[in-house]
């Protein structure tokens, strides 16, 4: 499962999550670890993109609870968190990028890693090397 913060500007009910240039990069990332989008659940904490393009601070608590429920429903074998908001929601305020963790939540125990969002990687390509190291950690971990 991949959990992101909010829909991209190009996303729609018809197109799905993480489309446009971000989706192209996501598909390349998945291919690099031997996956395809059809085998991965992609979800977001917010289901509509705010005009500001950022998660609203006043809704943070409710959206974090939604993120935890999404993960409970999906019951993933492995979890990849894109960006700070999903990381905070599932790993707590001290959660950070990198470092493989086991998410223990509501009867689920799965390998979890937080890394840069593909949106960030498009803006700062030098961070791709660090993200690749994160992905390597996740794919080396046996499925629970």
Residues 69-112 have pLDDT tens digits of: 889 999 999 999 998 888 888 888 776 777 888 888 788 889 99
How many whole angstroms separate alpha carbon 47 and alpha carbon 106?
22
Q: What is the predicted pLDDT for the residue at 92?
A: 81
Asked if 140 contacts 33 with a C-beta cutoff of 8 angstroms, the reply is no
Residue 95 CB neighbours (<10 A) = 17
Give the pTM: 0.88
Q: What is the CA radius of gyration of the chain?
A: 14
Q: What is the predicted pLDDT for the residue at 104?
A: 85
How many whole angstroms separate alpha carbon 55 and alpha carbon 57?
6
Rounded to 10 deg, the angle between the 60-74 and 84-91 helix axes is: 70
Please determine, for residue 39, whether its predicted confidence score (pLDDT) is greater than 80: yes
């Amino acid at each position: 499962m991949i959990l992101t913060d909010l829909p991209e500007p190009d996303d729609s009910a018809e197109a799905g999550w993480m489309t446009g240039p971000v989706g192209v990069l996501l598909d390349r990332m998945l291919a690099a670890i031997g996956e395809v989008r059809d085998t991965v659940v992609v979800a977001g904490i917010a289901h509509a993109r705010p005009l500001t393009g950022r998660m609203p601070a006043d809704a943070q608590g409710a959206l974090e609870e939604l993120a935890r429920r999404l993960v409970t429903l999906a019951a993933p074998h492995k979890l990849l968190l894109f960006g700070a908001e999903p990381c905070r929601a599932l790993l707590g305020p001290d959660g950070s990028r990198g470092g493989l963790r086991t998410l223990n939540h509501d009867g689920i125990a799965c390998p979890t890693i937080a890394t840069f969002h593909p949106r960030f990687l498009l803006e700062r390509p030098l961070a791709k090397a660090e993200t690749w190291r994160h992905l390597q950690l996740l794919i080396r971990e046996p499925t629970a």
